[in-house]
Amino acid sequence: MEKQIAEHIDTVGDNHISTNIETPLRKDAFDTSEDEKIVHIQHHFSKIMEELGLDLTDDSLSGTPYRVAKMYVKELFYGLNPIHKPKLSTFENKYGYGKMLIEQDITIDSACEHHFLPITGLAHIAYIPQDRVIGLSKINRLVNYYAHRPQVQERLSLQIMKDLQHVLKTESVIVMIIAKHLCVSSRGIKDKSSFTTTLEYGGEFHKNEVRKEFLSCVNTVTIK
């Protein structure tokens, strides 16, 4: 039985399967404060280090459990907590701009939810406005927010797209993410050169020529 469970865990991880557009969160996820979470994670992480055989009385290691806990809660995974979701205020499209707007080369700093290893890359996002437009930096902030939680790349693309479609009141949004997964390059298959591209879109972007226009603008073949 345990072997079966272990095999299932490996299968989900190595195939990078995502089961839902919503990040699976517990109902009581935020009953504890961020400070309480840091205290708890610090405790658990020190146990992991001890089990690995590390001497936590060593000067260099003694502060690590706290540093990791703080980094998880305040930095890498701050986007789990909806209180950190950026306000996506939009404006009336007074100038009647009706063609494509592209925000490209947005940094992706995320972590894979199967191995807790970094996912790094770029996002290119475009929309074709109808009545509403959005401040450009809001798009970057939204990407940052959803990236800063344990993720799978497909879900990250969808979460960003759905939110933009919702606030912009148009289906015509496209989200392209090109990223490297450390869990592919540094463990498992250990492929250093491959990267992953996801492309999610709706509305006008279903048209071949509209997508082509977007792709020719972002013109991104590889990432460094």
Instruction: Identify which of residues 115 and 124 has a Cβ nearer to Zn ion in the complex.
Output: 115
Nearer to Zn ion, 114 or 180 (CB): 114
Catalytic residue among 103, 159, 165, 181: 181
Active site residue 16: no
| Residue 114 a catalytic site member | yes
What span, in angstroms and rounded, lies between the C-alpha atoms of 92 and 90? 7
For Zn ion, the closer of residues 112 and 160 by Cβ is 112
d(CA 76, CA 119): 11
110, 147 Cβ separation under 8 angstroms: yes
Binding segment toward Zn ion, per CB under 5 A, in 55-63, 108-116, 139-147, 194-202:
108-116
181 belongs to the catalytic site: yes
Task: Name which of residues 150 to 209 contact Zn ion (CB under 5 A).
Answer: 183
- Is 34 labeled as catalytic in the residue annotation? no
Count H helices and E strands in the chain, helices first. 8, 7
Residues in 110-149 at the binding interface with Zn ion, rule: CB under 5 A: 112, 114-115
Q: Euclidean distance between the first and final Cα of the chain, in Å?
A: 43
Is 183 a known active-site residue? yes
Least distance from C-beta 12 to Zn ion, angstroms?
10
Residue 174 belongs to what H/E stretch?
Answer: strand 173-181
CA torsion sign for 98, 100, 105, 109 is positive
- Which one is catalytic: 42, 124, 148, 153? 153
Give the separation between CA 202 and CA 161, rounded to whole angstroms: 9
Least Å distance, CB 15 to Zn ion, is 10
Residue that is written with structure tokens 């345990």 in the block: 2
Which among 103, 115, 148, 165 is annotated as catalytic? 115
Contact 197/176 with Cβ under 8 angstroms? Answer: yes
Q: How far is the CB of 7 from Zn ion (least distance, A)?
A: 17
Concerning whether 153 is annotated as a catalytic residue, the answer is: yes
Please give the positions annotated as active site.
112-115, 153, 181, 183
Catalog residues that contact Zn ion under the rule CB under 5 A: 112, 114-115, 183
